[in-house]
Amino acid sequence: MKKKILILGSYGYIGSKLLITLNKKFKVYKLPNKKKAFSFIKKFLIKNKINIIINLVNSDNHRKEIIKFNEDLLKVIKNLNVKIIFVSTSLIYGLNNKPADEKTKLKPFNDYTYNKFIIEKLYENSKANFKIIRLSNVYDDKLNKKGIFKNLINCVKKKNTYIRFNNLEIYRNFIHLNDVVNMMEKLLINYDKIDQKIFNFGGENLKLKKIIYLFNKKFSTKINVKINKKKIYDPSIKINSRLSSKILKYNKFTKLSSTLEKFKNSNIYE
């Protein structure tokens, strides 16, 4: 019998992809209305015999709202045999000299990472059967998600005359959406066999300077870069994903360079 999965946040960038792709191996549900009360969610879980919840619900600024949501969600599943996966962020590690693994001290530095930090602690202090995924920056073949890659493509296409950065020497970790989906699938299949509670889902550690180089080389251009004069705390964050790769037996990660080549040869670029 197929496991029954409920995706909270199924309307978002990652949730919508999971909703479509995971249906091949699982029975995947979304709530008919994302604003339903928790009394409805409880009835929905019982009626559909949900096995695992993937919680992708997010809020950058409304801390009380998102914390209350997770508190209520944990109360709902307390007496139900429902497992839950909370999707956090790798940015929660903040500045570290070495690639951060799952045991590295957390250093949240803005509203988004503090929210994730507080919610992680809620799960760890609960009696829920949970897993936490610390997810890196996600991109896909269309390179159209809001962020650095979309901005760089706009520069390549001359839609933007330049791009701004705080510091080209910092690192960020990037993971392709297909790798996220494949790793999530493996986690769902083997959930009960895995004791590990926290996983880094990350791909390549790339210096911003290297990313500019890859775009310039692949598209035979020279992107105009401007450095912000005002100093903004923008930590360099490297991620160590060896543990999740080993446990989930997944190491075929997509490289940014191959994605850029694919994009260059696509109708989207033309």
- DSSP 3-state of 68: helix
Mean pLDDT computed over 101-123:
95
Domain ranges across the chain: 4-264
Choice between 35 and 19, residue whose per-residue pLDDT is larger? 19
**Domain spanning 4-264: which superfamily?**
NAD(P)-binding Rossmann-like Domain (3.40.50.720)
Most confident of 1-10, 35-44, 152-161, 196-205: 196-205
In b/e form, how buried is each residue of 46-81, taking b as 16+ CB within 10 angstroms?
Answer: eeeebbbbbbbbbeeeeeeebeebbeebbebbeeee
pLDDT value for 230: 84
* CA 80 – CA 85 distance, rounded (Å): 15
Give me the amino acid identity at 101: D
How many of the other CB atoms lie within 10 Å of CB of 42?
18
